[in-house]
Structure 1
Amino acid sequence: MLDDHGNRPSSAEIVGMAQTYYYDGHFKRPAVKLLPGEYVVGRHDELMCTVLGSCVSACMRDPVAGVSGMNHFLLPSTGRAEEDLTARYGVHAMELLINGLLRAGAKRQRIEVKLFGGANLMHSRTDDNVGHNNARFALAFMKQEGLGLVSQDLFGHEPRKIWYFPDTGRVMLRRLRLTRNDTIIRREVDYSRRLATRPDTGGEVDLFD
């Protein structure tokens, strides 16, 4: 991520898998844009943004420790009956973000969470679609782990673009129209295929304390 002088901060200031760092001229602050499968943890001065279709993003922060983060995840559609095989990817995405926050000084009981995304872009007439499955997983994970969910904007049929301001916890959301631009769908389909074909090691996920 770039600072006001166009310099990227040290690894001690920001961690994660996000690759797109820039200085946002409109909001006048350093920013990072997340793509499917990415996450980022940093200090409170970084703007975090992403575009969501079927995917879900969790925005998390510890206002006391001054650390925050965001992820962007999609459960793969494997066509297999075992739900734990697909849910493992969602758990892993949440684990990376939460453990990153804890390592940066956050306390689990102080973490505030906001959830976004999980749209049914294909307008499937059944409730069993990728987007809604992602949204249901995220809600179930919050409940199971006892995390502080303070707001959500999930389900529906429209993609969303969100801007997360960790210093205040504010989120700006814009609903998008899927007209001729199918970039969101193509990007998520490609990512889902890569997840579905990724070898499963059978290993257990080490959850945070």
Structure 2
Amino acid sequence: MADQKLTVGIADMKVLQGEGILVTYALGSCIGLCFHDPRLRLGALLHIMLPLNMEAGRTHTLKYADTGIKETLRQLEVKGASRARMTVKIAGGAKMFEIAGGSGLGNIGQRNIESVHTILKRENIRLIGEHTGGSIARTMLFDVASGQACVRSYGQKDIIF
């Protein structure tokens, strides 16, 4: 994998072109999304925390699936990316905590997965790889030159897709 490595924080997104690795850590109930335009060797990694942005002022855009995906697509399209060529791979959405009383907060990971699927479909972006659910935290690495994603979890074999 390439030399340049950029870390994407929680509720953050980075774009790289040509070559380099984008990496995000601590994907529990959060979801990492690797966007890739193979012709331009252009990629972005977005780390979302929650399914929908309900804030009146629409601040913290990248924290939410709906506004984060829209903003990532906007930035990639400014650099010439085409939705017809673009693909996405996702990881995360784990159920990290059992919450008594059947609280909806208990499975925010599943709500994140469903929200990401719905928004990608609405935006006409092809989802071509997924490692979601379960109850383990993940680290996601994305090689923008090849479009290859790698998911690492403690005590597990790397998943490359």
Q: Structure 1 length as normaliser, TM-score?
A: 0.63
Structure with higher RCO (Cα < 8 A, 6+ apart): 2
Normalized per residue, the structure richer in strand is 2
Partners of 1:105 and 1:159 in 2: CA distance: 33
Residue 142 of structure 2 aligns with which residue?
164
Deviation at 1:127, TM superposition (A): 9.1
- Return the alpha-carbon distance in structure 1 between the equivalents of residues 24 and 95 of structure 2: 17
Q: CA deviation at 1:66?
A: 2.1
Query: What does residue 135 of structure 1 align with?
Result: 113
| Aligned counterpart, 2:16 | 42
Residue 147 (str. 1) matches residue 125 (str. 2): yes
Matches within 5 A, 1:1-209: 27=1, 29-51=3-25, 52-75=27-50, 85=54, 89-124=64-99, 128=104, 129-176=107-154
Instruction: Provide the rounded CA distance (Å) in 2 between the counterparts of 1:31 and 1:68.
Output: 13
Tell me how many residue pairs correspond in the alignment.
Answer: 144
Percent of residue pairs identical:
24
Please say which structure displays the higher CA radius of gyration. 1
Distance in 2, matches of 1:106 and 1:84, equals 25
Deviation at 1:145, TM superposition (A): 2.0
Amino acid at match of 1:44: G
Please, which runs of 5 or more residues in structure 1 have no aligned partner?
Answer: 1-26, 77-82, 178-209
**Aligned CA distance change for structure 1 residues 69 and 134 (closer, same or farther; 3 Å):** same
Three-state SS of the structure 1 residue aligned to 2:131 is strand
Q: CA RMSD in A?
A: 2.2
Q: Could you tell me how far 1:130 is from its partner in structure 2? A: 1.4
Gaps of 5+ in 2: 59-63, 156-161
